[in-house]
């Protein structure tokens, strides 16, 4: 008899060893039809897996995020089968799941998006047959023999540590895979191929270039339609196009991967940094600044020369080798070590808007999202072990406050000790428990990524969610047990002995360039008043009113508003349309009536118009909206 424990604690008994499908069917046939895979004593398994002993089982249905990933992995196999049927000489490599879809790297002739309809037609045919995914575990020797004509599969198999490998067959197609998979190809309800690009085998440019075909898949056709609509909206919000339209920044061949910020872009940039400084002063941070170029010896000491050298730019000065910093951390270590510290000095919270350079391959550069030169809002917090939890909690509350100001939701993920790490078990336990305790006190749900921490310490990552529902990893909080050791940092404790400080690396914006690009797309260029590069445009109705318009503009500027006058010999309608294209929040029109009455006619970028607004009321309401950093442009009501 096999006893199966379900998530609600109930137990089901089976006289013969049941499969996952048998167990799900015993709960409800309708429930079983929607089951994609199961978790068997903590491991994901196919529904066809047979239980030969008592176990705890949890099922994943088409409503679960984990099920979507499993189905997309199965969709990659379906695509590979369809490609081989169309291109028999193609050689398969790997086909993993990625964010929002999957891809498969294939050694074959060039493929374009014009080829997608026939590949998709082949996929739909395979899906319609509802071929079961059948797993077979075989020895390495048998797998190598099976793939005698497949060099990439043989290379993968030869590099596996296990002497047994698993193969999955659907219809007449078999692929090397660890699984799990959906019960049959019919679970891939809605599929779409998205794009194709080149990729080198194993990511090495010395190897064969492959065709990387990307696709996405959903359990429901409506979900696919919604996703494609979101992508169309994202194209409209593309920060590269909006950056040009709004005159914020540009990119030039003379400095690949390095943004040029225009005057309006700098207004946006400075508004972001002004807010950053405001919140950090309130939170007890001091601001520091360290050099951009430091000696090779420093980077050897920090470990970057050994582990990050290929991404660093170097130079020679006075016959000595230097590196342009890819990270701010070593400079922060020198600042802390410059003077002696007592436990009474701690915690020390030191922030830096540091310019860093990292060499990225030209093929991955993408607007502000992937650059070679960028600024990080780094901060290093030095503390005693008993201060870990309150300091982490302080950072989490700061993250919540700052992201909330932009209307950005977020979720948290905790990554724990990887297999390769430094530090003692006791240090890791103290550090990880400190993060967990802070997260528990913070009170929000969080995901644990076992073994995904940095080699020098566990970390918390904040993933923001923008207006389109896309997620971006920006903020991070990392405990570091390496650099304080490497730089021999210390403080004198209450026992009058020297102790090693605990150190946190943390960023909130992350790369400021990238965060700015995210905001451009999040707001679609319609920035809230406090953030807008142009806050007000004054528009005189005729040339005779230009002088008065300039006086009004000076009053606005004296009040701290980012204001300008549109003196062009154009109609008011044309001036308004142009300002709306530039997403200026407020347009002030001045005619003879407004001049005589000392009032303003105010139009918002969304077309609402308010007449008879006094100058004092305009300054009072806009000033309050800016000080409070409101998201909504709800002014001059009533």
The residues assigned a catalytic role are 329, 358, 376, 378, 380, 459, 505
C-alpha distances out from residue 547 to 538, 542, 554, Å: 11, 10, 11
Contact 528, 629 (CB under 8 A): yes
CA distance 237 to 521: 5
Q: What is the DSSP string of 36-61?
A: EEEEETTEEE-TTPBP-S-EEEEEEE
Own/partner pairs for 550-553, CB < 8 Å, 24+ apart?
552/588, 552/590, 552/600, 552/615
**Strand order in 43-45's β-sheet?**
11-14, 2-5, 55-61, 35-40, 43-45
Query: Token digits for 159?
Result: 């590099």
Chain centre distance of CA 229: 21
Contact 316, 295 (CB under 8 A): no
User: Cβ neighbours of residue 537 under 8 Å, at least 6 residues apart?
Assistant: 563, 564, 565, 566, 575, 579, 584, 586, 587, 588
Query: Token digits for 216?
Result: 């996405």
How far does the chain reach from its first CA to its final CA, in angstroms? 75
C-alpha distances out from residue 54 to 51, 496, 525, Å: 7, 57, 58
Q: Is 283 exposed, middle or buried (0-12, 13-18, 19+ CB in 10 A)?
A: middle
CA distance 323 to 371: 18
Contact 251, 262 (CB under 8 A): no
Phi first, then psi: give them for residue 284, nearest 5 degrees. 85, 25
User: Cβ neighbours of residue 575 under 8 Å, at least 6 residues apart?
Assistant: 537, 539, 566, 568, 587
Query: Token digits for 143?
Result: 């797998």
* Residue from 380, 372, 373, 377 nearest 331 by CA: 380
CA distance 167 to 46: 13
- Residues in a beta bridge with 176: 167
Helix pair angle (546-558, 615-627), 10° resolution:
40
Biggest CA-to-CA distance, the chain: 96
Side-chain-facing half-sphere of 345: CA atoms under 13 Å? 15
Neighbours of 621 (CB within 10 A): 17
3-state secondary structure 341-356: CEHHHCCEEEEEEEEE
CA distance 228 to 279: 38
Q: What is the DSSP string of 483-494?
A: HHHHTT--EE-T
Phi first, then psi: give them for residue 275, nearest 5 degrees. -65, -40
The stretches of 366-412 forming alpha helices (DSSP H) are 388-405
Do the bridges between strand 55-61 and strand 2-5 make them parallel or antiparallel, or are there none, so unpaired?
parallel
């Amino acid at each position: 008899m096999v006893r199966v424990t379900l998530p609600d604690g109930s137990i089901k008994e089976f006289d013969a060893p049941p499969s996952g499908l048998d167990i799900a069917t015993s709960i409800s046939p309708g429930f079983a039809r929607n089951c994609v895979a199961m978790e068997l004593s903590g491991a994901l398994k196919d529904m066809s897996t047979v239980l030969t002993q008592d176990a705890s089982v949890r099922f994943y249905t088409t409503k679960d995020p984990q099920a979507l990933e499993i189905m997309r992995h199965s969709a990659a196999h379906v695509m590979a089968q369809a490609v081989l049927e169309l291109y028999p000489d193609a050689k398969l490599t790997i086909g993993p799941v990625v964010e929002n879809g999957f891809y498969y790297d294939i050694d074959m002739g060039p493929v374009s998006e014009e080829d997608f309809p026939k590949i998709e037609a082949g996929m739909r045919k395979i899906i319609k047959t509802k071929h079961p995914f059948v797993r077979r575990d075989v020895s390495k020797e048998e797998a190598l023999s099976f793939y005698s004509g497949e060099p990439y599969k043989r290379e993968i198999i030869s590099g596996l540590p296990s002497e047994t490998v698993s193969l999955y067959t659907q219809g007449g197609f078999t692929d090397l895979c660890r699984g799990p998979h959906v019960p049959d190809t019919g679970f891939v309800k809605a599929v779409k191929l998205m794009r194709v690009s080149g990729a080198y085998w194993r990511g090495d440019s010395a190897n064969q270039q492959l065709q990387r075909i990307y696709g996405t898949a959903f359990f429901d056709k409506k979900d696919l339609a919604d996703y494609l609509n979101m992508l169309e909206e994202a194209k409209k919000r593309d920060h590269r196009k909006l950056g040009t339209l709004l005159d914020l920044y540009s990119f030039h061949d003379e400095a690949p991967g390095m943004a040029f910020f225009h005057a309006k872009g700098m207004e946006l940039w400075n508004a972001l940094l002004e807010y950053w400084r405001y919140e950090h002063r309130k939170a007890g941070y001091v601001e520091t600044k360290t050099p951009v170029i430091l000696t090779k010896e420093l980077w050897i000491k920090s470990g970057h020369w050994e582990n990050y050298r290929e991404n660093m730019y170097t130079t020679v000065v006075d016959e000595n080798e230097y590196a342009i910093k890819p990270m701010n951390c070593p400079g922060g270590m020198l600042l802390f070590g410059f003077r002696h510290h007592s436990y009474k000095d701690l915690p020390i919270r030191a922030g830096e808007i540091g310019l860093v350079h990292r060499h990225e391959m030209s093929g991955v550069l993408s607007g502000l999202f992937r650059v070679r030169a960028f600024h990080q809002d780094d901060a290093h917090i030095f503390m005693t072990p008993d201060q870990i939890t309150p300091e982490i909690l302080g950072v989490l509350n700061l993250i919540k406050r700052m992201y909330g100001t932009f209307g950005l939701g977020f979720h948290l993920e905790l990554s724990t000790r990887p297999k390769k790490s430094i530090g003692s078990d006791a240090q890791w336990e103290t550090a990880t428990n400190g993060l967990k305790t802070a997260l528990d006190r913070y009170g929000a749900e969080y995901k644990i990524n076992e073994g995904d921490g940095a080699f020098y310490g566990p970390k918390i990552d904040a993933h923001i969610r923008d207006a389109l529902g896309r997620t971006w990893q920006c903020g991070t909080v990392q405990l570091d047990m390496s650099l304080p050791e490497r730089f021999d940092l210390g403080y004198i404790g209450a026992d009058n002995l020297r102790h090693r400080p605990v150190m946190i690396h943390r960023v909130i914006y992350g790369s400021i360039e990238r965060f700015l690009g995210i905001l451009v797309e999040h707001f679609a260029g319609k920035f809230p008043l406090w953030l807008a590069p142009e806050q007000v445009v004054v528009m005189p109705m005729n040339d005779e009113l230009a002088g008065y318009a300039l006086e009004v503009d000076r009053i606005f500027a004296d009040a701290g508003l980012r204001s300008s006058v549109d003196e062009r010999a154009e109609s008011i309608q044309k001036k308004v349309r142009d300002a709306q294209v530039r997403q200026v929040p407020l347009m002030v029109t001045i005619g003879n009536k407004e001049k005589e009455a000392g009032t303003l006619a105010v139009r918002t970028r969304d077309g609402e118009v308010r007449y008879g607004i006094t100058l004092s009321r305009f300054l009072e309401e806009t000033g309050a909206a800016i000080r409070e950093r409101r998201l909504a442009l709800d002014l001059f009501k009533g």
